[in-house]
Structures are given as C-alpha cells and as structure tokens.
Amino acid sequence: MKKQYFVCIALIALLSFVSLPLFSQGSKDSAVDGPVSIDLWYGAAVTEAGPPPADWVGFDIIKEKLNIDLKLTTLPSNESDQDVKIQAAAAANNLPDLFMVRRDVLARLVSQGLVAPVDDLYEKMPTRTATHYNEVSRNHTKFNGKSYGLADPGSIVKNEGLLIRKDWLDNLGLSIPTTTDELLDVMRAFTFDDPDGNGKNDTYGYGAFQEVNNYEAWPGRRLEPILGAFGVEGTWDMTVANAGLTILKPEFYDAMVYLKKMVDEGIIDPNWLAYKKDDFRAAWKQGRFGIMREQNAAFAAQSNYAPFDKNFPNGEWVVMDPIKGPKGHASIGPYTAGFRIYAISAKAVEEGKKEKIAELLEWMASDEGYYLLGWGVEGVNYTKDANGIPVADGLPDPDLAFSGPVGQTVTQLRNMVFYNGDIELYARYPKYITATSKKEMSALDVLRTMQSKQWTPAIGSDMLPIPSADLKRFYEQGLSEFITGKRTLNRTNWNTWIAEFKKLGGQDWNDKGVAFAKENNLLNE
C-alpha cells in the first residue's frame, strides 16, 4: 500500500514538472549574425487604443534599414504599476534594453548600477539632440554629474487657461472680472441670477475638482488661479528671495479665507470635492458652472467641445486674464517642464547594444521616423495639406486615419518622436467648424492664447522632495477642514495649525526642498 502512496506523490510531482516546459515558450535573442534585438518598454500615446499590430510596417523598415529587431512592450497606464513592473524586472536583472521610467525610480536604478550613463549619446544623435534635448532636460536626469536618461519633451507647457462663459456675462450685462472682488461678484451673479435664463437655480460661479501633484498641492491645479491672485500658487515658491513652501507664507491664509468665502456662499459648484476629472468635464458641458481652469484640448478639441456645442449652440467660453489679488499678484498657476525619460539598461550596454539604440533614436528623429511614428504611412494614415501639415482628410479608409480608432495603434510611439514642434501642433489641433453652432474653433489658437497669459515659472519644482504620507494627509485634511468649516478659520487657529504642521515634519520638508532647489540651481530671480 505504501508503494502506491509513493507512486501517487511521484505522479503529482512529475505532472507539475512536466507541465511547465509544455507551457513555456521563453523568448530567445536573435542569432549572432542576424538583426540586433532591442527590447523597448514604452509609454503608449493612447493607452486604451492597443499596441501597434504585429504586421506594422515600422518593424520591417527598422529591421531593413537599421538591422534592428524591435520588440515592443507597452508599459501599464498607471505610473505606480509601471514602477512595480520595472523594479521587478530590475530585481531579476531583466531590464529591457530601452525603457521609459519615472525620475525617482531612475534614481534607484542608478544607485543599483542597473542603468547606463547616456552623456556620450547626445553627440551621436545630432538631429534628435537638436530638437529634443537641452540643458534643462539633461540636468533632469543627472545624478553624480552624469546623465542617466534621455529626457524627451513631455506635455506642452502652459496649456491650460482660466475660462469664463461670455454668453452668461452678456446675459447678465457683466464684464470679465479682473480683480478678486469683481470675481466674487460675477460668481455670485452666475450662481443666483439665472445666467442661462432657464428659470432654474441650477448654475454655479466656479467649477473645479481636486487635482494635486508634487508641485500643485491641495486644493490643486483647478484652483491655482485663485491662489495665484494671492501670490501663493503651487506647492513651492521658486524665487530666490522667498524660496519655500507657499503654505508657510502669510498670504496663504488670505487665499484660504477667499476660498472659504466661495464655499460658504455656495458660489463654487459644491461637487468640487467629489468630482473626478470626467465628472468635472461632463459638468461644464452640461452648463453647470461659468468659470473654470481647463486644458486647451480638453476644452476645444473637436470631440471634446462637441457635446457643449450641441447642448448650448449659443454658449461661448473665452480665455480670460488671471485675476489680480489685493497686492496685484496674478497667475494662472505654476508651470514646469514635463519630461518622458527613456533609460538604457547596463545589461544592454554590456551586450553592445548602445550604439544601435542611438541609431534607432536618431532614425526616429529623421523625417522618415518622425512621420512614420508620429502619423503613420502617408496615403494610408494621413495626407499632407497645402502647408505640408499631416491631416486626416482624403484617406481611402477613415478608420485608419492617425486620429481614428484603428490608426491610433500605429502611432503609439509618437511620444518618442514628438517634441511639440509646429507641425505636430498644427496636425494635432486642426481648425474645424462646430457641428451645431457652425463656429470656427481651433485648440491651437486656444493654446496660444492660454500661453500668452501670466504664469509662474517653477521649472524643477516637480523634482523637489515630497512629504511623508502622514504629513501629506495632515496638510490636505487640515486645509479641507478649514475650507469646509470643520475647523474654524481664523488667524489663531491657522497659526496653531501651521505650527503643528511644522512640528510634524513640515519645516523639515521645507528646508530639504529649499536646499535641493539651491543645489540644483532651480530658483528664479
């Protein structure tokens, strides 16, 4: 009987071991004389659109012209998932040859010796370097005096603006507010005087949602124009004279009083604490509020503007100047230079792939690579208009257009070639006539107007130290309690709370941030 038991156990073990190779299809590198295999983990341009198809013409061109067998892996859409995937691969010394990575993860990989310096690559890629990299981008990836990543240009800077419903102002006989006091009056009128004339009490002055990041702390980006009026926009003051956390400045209290007034009087959409980005964007399209800070394309791109145009053919948003505060301050908010960092693994360098990677990146910056990765194949995914700008018109299959559902898959690598040049912007934001109101719109014109407004330079403020989770919670919870009335907002309470904040680590956070900014020459005159 014992023998049978052992046979049974042996069978289970055998089954387990035998099944593994059956399933396994481990990938092997290319043959010695064949094309050089390069694994690229990239951030997709449109995460939900799917990767380039297996028969994408780009693979053949790259293999034929550069002798490179390019293997693509789309990184997860969420940054923390990206970090986990990269760090797990790093722990197994299994990093891909070329990969997108966030700066703080890159710093860890540098300390572990898993990524290679790229200083020598800049001169090997003259075309790319001319359009993609500058002093700021090189400094962004510099550790111990060496650049460990290629920081490509990220999103367009200063691409948001303060918008106001011009049709509501006209209905109420008001003009665009310029000061904080005038803004209060307009917000009150938008809330209580039925600006859309529908006979219902269903509108509010200001609309927002909580959107915070390293350099735009709570209450976040959507309320920066209000904070800017008091000179406390952004998490950090990046000037030499007043460097430090803005929350420690006395004017922050004044901004809080103003925000509390907006909340108490009910002139800010009360859902601003509950809205997510999609809810906020659905709300302005439904005519719920008349003043907001919004991004140019999210506001004016054809598909984004269409619902508003249909709902309110006579509606009109205009980009306004930032509001002036009591001391004359005005700002839409802080801006920083966003980068997408691509790093090269030390393993890839050991395998002699560095030159090939430089060759690949330089080809991407050539006309051929730029148009292929940015827009696809001419005549299939795009055509050029009279000015040489890629457009989605006149294609045999509109679905394959670079902006169409299928065409987007072949331009997933466009973030590796785009640098916010004029051609890209013209192609990205073409002029169009709205379907219902028949007015001409251009997200590019809107962008140019938004960029012409007053912003606060804060380059590098997104690299400054971040607070501990507990301190961040204390910061955000405290401010929200003051604004919503759970804590009484007066000078005494505010000073007590600030003292507590400093004691809990706020002062240390401030000091470290200022020291970092000074060390890295990030402060402005």
Partner 1 sequence: MKKRRRFTSVAVKPTAADHSFNFLVDLFLGLLLLIIAIPLWSTITLSFRPNDYIGNNLEGMFLLPWNWSTSAYEALLGNAGFLLAFGNSVKILIGGVASALLLTIPLAYVLSIPTLPGRRYLNLFVIVPYVFNVGMIPTYLLVTNIGLIDTLPAVYIPVAISTYNCLIMRSFFEGIPNELKESARIDGASEIQILLRIILPLSKAIIMTIGLFYGVSFWNNFFHAMLYLNSNALQPLPILLRNILMASGMNEYVEVSAFGDAPIAAIKAASVFMSAIPMVAAYPFIQKYFTKGTLLGSVKG
Enumerate residues 357-396 that contact partner 1 by CB under 8 A.
392
Residues within window 95-124 making contact with partner 1, judged by CB under 8 A: 96
How far apart, in whole angstroms, are the C-alpha atoms of residue 335 and residue 414?
23
Residues 132-191 that bind partner 1 (CB under 8 A): none
Binding to partner 1 in span 401-440, by CB under 8 A: 403-406, 408-409, 428, 430
Q: Which is nearer to partner 1, 33 or 278 (CB)?
A: 278
Among 256, 301, 341, 441, binds partner 1 (CB under 8 A): 301
Tokens 């205009």 locate to 318
DSSP labels for 398-417? GGGSTTSTTGGGGGTTGGGT
Tokens of 117: 């310096």
* Pairing of the two strands 339-344 and 98-101: antiparallel
Beta carbon nearer to partner 1, 162 or 522: 162
Enter the tokens of residue 265: 């009087």
Q: Is 78 helix (H, G, I), strand (E, B) or coil?
A: coil
For position 286 contacting partner 1 by CB under 8 A, the verdict is yes
**Shortest gap between Cβ of 371 and partner 1 (angstroms)?**
17
Q: Is the CB of 144 or the CB of 303 nearer to partner 1?
A: 303
Which of 60, 67, 78, 104 is the binder for partner 1 (CB under 8 A)? 78
Nearer to partner 1, 255 or 413 (CB): 413
Residue whose CB is less far from partner 1, 73 or 111: 73
CB closer to partner 1, 333 vs 460: 333
The site that binds partner 1 (CB under 8 A) totals a number of residues, namely 73
**Strand pairing class (456-457; 334-335):** parallel
Beta strands 432-433 and 289-295 are unpaired
Select the residue interacting with partner 1 from 37, 129, 210, 302 (CB under 8 A).
302
Residue 390's SS3 state is strand
Please give the C-alpha separations between residue 313 and each of 167, 291, 307, in angstroms, as whole numbers.
11, 18, 10
| Helices assigned H by DSSP within 231-314 | 251-264, 277-285, 296-300, 302-311
Considering beta carbons, is residue 37 or 180 the nearer one to partner 1?
37
CB neighbourhood size of 14 (10 A): 10
By CB under 8 A, residue 345 contacts partner 1: no
503-522 residues near partner 1, rule: CB under 8 A? none
Among 31, 32, 92, 241, binds partner 1 (CB under 8 A): 92
Q: Which of 37, 191, 210, 295 binds partner 1 (CB under 8 A)?
A: 295
Considering the complex, what minimum distance in angstroms separates the CB of residue 385 from partner 1? 15
Binder among 18, 24, 386, 521 for partner 1 (CB under 8 A): 24
Half-sphere exposure of 321 (CA within 13 A, CB side): 14
Half-sphere exposure of 34 (CA within 13 A, CB side): 8
Among the listed residues 30, 35, 51, 273, the single contact to partner 1 using CB under 8 A? 51
Q: State the Rg of the chain over Cα.
A: 27
CB of 283 to partner 1, least distance (A): 9
Q: How far is the CB of 98 from partner 1 (least distance, A)?
A: 13
**Residue in 30, 46, 166, 487 binding partner 1, rule: CB under 8 A:** 46
What gap in Å lies between CA 273 and CA 208, rounded to an integer? 8
Q: Per CB under 8 A, which region of 60-68, 84-92, 169-177, 366-374 contacts partner 1? A: 84-92
Site for partner 1 in 460-479 (CB under 8 A): none
Phi-psi region of 67 (alpha: psi -120 to 50; beta: other; left: phi over 0): left
Minimum Å distance from CB 461 to partner 1?
21
CB of 56 to partner 1, least distance (A): 11
- Which member of 65, 88, 488, 500 binds partner 1 (CB under 8 A)? 88
Q: What is the DSSP string of 14-60?
A: HHHHHHHHHH-----PPPTTSPEEEEEEE--SSGGG-PPPTT-HHHH
350 SS3 class: helix
- Residue numbers 241-280 binding partner 1 by CB under 8 A: 277-278
Among 61, 176, 298, 471, binds partner 1 (CB under 8 A): 298
Cα distance between residue 187 and residue 289, in whole Å: 9
Residue 96: CB minimum distance to partner 1, A: 8
Rounded to the nearest 5 percent, the helix, strand and coil shares of the chain are 50, 15, 35
- Scan for tokens 């003259």, then name that residue: 126
Q: Specify the residue, 246 or 403, whose C-beta has the smaller distance to partner 1.
A: 403
Task: Give the CB-side neighbour count of residue 501, counting CA atoms within 13 A.
Answer: 21
Determine, following the binding rule CB under 8 A, whether residue 4 of this chain makes contact with partner 1: yes
* Residue 488 binding partner 1, by CB under 8 A: no
* Cβ–Cβ under 8 Å, residues 419 and 132: yes
